[in-house]
Amino acid sequence: AFVCCFANVYREMGAVDLAAALERCSGSLELLQQVVSETLNKAKTEQVPEIRQSIEEGDHTKAHFHSHSIKGASATIGFDGLSAIAKELDDLVRTGTVDGSVPLVDRLEAELEESLEYWKSHETAMAIALERCSDDQELFLEIAKEMISDVVPEQLTSLEKAVGEGDAASINICAVQLKDAAETIGASQLIFLLGPVITDTNDGKCDGCADSLQLIKEEAAKVSAFWEAVEADE
């Protein structure tokens, strides 16, 4: 069984774009891991505390400096939701005041915590998937690209057909197969989305599966874009 501490709330579609971040890292998984981890951890341990202190001191210039930095850095690593909140804060303090900024800092900090949880789940899923390949990066990449091009699309088609027929047993079989594929390629959010579908259909229930299917298809497209962006020399 796959065990992982996924974020409790599925990330809003479009809030994170790791494929775009990977392209900026020239397709290097190693560089992506380094840049994202450093960016998020710096925001948590240094920049957000500096922003809070600046606001307490009424220093809008310093608050602007750090919020602007988070805005740009988080956009670079594909965490668009975090960047958007940092921009709201930056737009406010750059006008020369810190009045009304505390709620924005609270939102920024909450979004940062969710972003860290998201990244932790991604790293964990990728590590487990790599371990399945005996830590052979080349083999992992070969399998992932093959599954994204052939296996996952076929499984999505089968799942979509089962959902259309409203057959809970068939939906369950297809969802379990797709979840196994997602585990094989380290697709943490896809795994997370399939979990409730499997649980419900185990109990013979398929209400809401159509809505879940749409999210699953959208996430599968993002996973596909991510693996397509990985360079072969990884």
CA distance 228 to 94: 39
How many residues make up the chain in this entry? 234
Per-residue DSSP letter, 79: B
- pLDDT tens, residue by residue, 137-192: 999 999 999 999 999 999 999 999 999 999 999 999 999 999 999 999 999 999 99
Whether pTM > 0.85 for this model: the answer is yes
Q: How far apart are the first and last CA of the chain?
A: 28
Classify the C-alpha dihedral 147-12-104-6 as positive or negative.
negative
Tens of pLDDT, residues 109-123? 999 999 999 999 999
Residue 144, C-beta contacts closer than 8 angstroms, at least 6 positions apart: 129, 184, 185, 186, 227, 230
Model confidence at 1, pLDDT cuts 50, 70, 90, reads very low
Task: Read off the pLDDT of each residue in 25-38 and give the average, rounded to a whole number.
Answer: 95
3-class state of residue 12 by DSSP: coil
**Percentage of residues in the chain having pLDDT higher than 90:** 91
Q: Phi and psi dihedrals of 14, rounded to 5?
A: 90, -10
